[in-house]
Structure 1
């Protein structure tokens, strides 16, 4: 069983914003695998199905970004899952738009949603895909920036990053994450 969590904020107001790129990856995976992410469970929208012979759970926490761990922990507990089966996808300010980085573990790097997951799981050791959203080019509060939409050339770069992230998740179903990580982090 694989639990794939995309971080974001619920509601139309936040759709297509930088902070919701994790939700976009979940939506694309759901479309690719024919899974409806429409059940309400664990304070999240959830979809269940199969991919590559594995049972997969796609999840979009509805707790708002900073409380994401309040959905992830009960889901992992209920599924009697191991952290080895968990993958979290989210935005990263420190990567340029369009760049992705896969990691087996790490700090939150200032990302409050990831910090919530770390706090609720009691560990930094879980798989993740970070998708670059860059930093503001003009002085702007970070909360305003992450809740803004991509502009111009960023849109194409980010769309390609979402596609690469979806492919990386799909490859993880059939291959060890370290192998996938080495391929995508080049």
Structure 2
């Protein structure tokens, strides 16, 4: 079984914010893979499905970003999912808006949702898809920026990044992550 996690914050006030881009990819995948998110447990909302014989879970942690690992840890332990069978999607300040980067391991890079995930999985060796949101302009605090909405110009690029990220996750259900990295990076 594989676990696909989108990081974000629950609540309508966070919809379509930069920090919730992981949730948007999960929503896209839910539609694409016809897997509704209807199960509320393990501190998250999830959907279970199968694609070409591969079972998977889509997860949106409902713990708020800084505690995302609590939900991810519970789901991975309950379903006995190895870290190598997990992909985490999240916003990244160090990539230009709309750019995506796939990696198999790495540090949290200052991202609190990833810090929590690493803490609860006990490893840095899980797959991830970083989705670029760029850094804020001078004088704009990072928390204010990541909880803000995309500009009109950015929205089109982000819609494409969400679709591409969802397609990469779908490809991963039938191919090794390294192969998907080579195709999508």
**Bin of the TM-score, shorter chain as denominator length:** over 0.9
TM-score, scaled relative to structure 2: 0.98
3-state SS of 1:50 partner: strand
Distance 1:17 1:172 in 2: 26
Tell me the CA shift for residue 168 of structure 1: 0.5
Runs (4 or more) in structure 1 with deviation over 4 Å come to: none
Distance 2:66 2:150 in 1: 21
Residue number in structure 2 paired with 1:10? 10
Within 5 A, what are the aligned runs for 1:34-183? 34-183=34-183
3-state SS of 2:109 partner: coil
Distance 2:44 2:105 in 1: 23
Count the aligned residue pairs: 185
Q: Deviations over 1:111-164 (max 9, x none)?
A: 000000001111100000000001112411100000000002111111111111
Tell me the CA shift for residue 2 of structure 1: 0.8
Tell me the CA shift for residue 39 of structure 1: 1.2
Higher alpha-carbon deviation: 47-56 or 70-79: 47-56
TM-score, scaled relative to structure 1: 0.97
Distance 1:39 1:179 in 2: 31
RMSD: 0.8
Q: Deviations over 1:42-66 (max 9, x none)?
A: 0000111111221110000000000
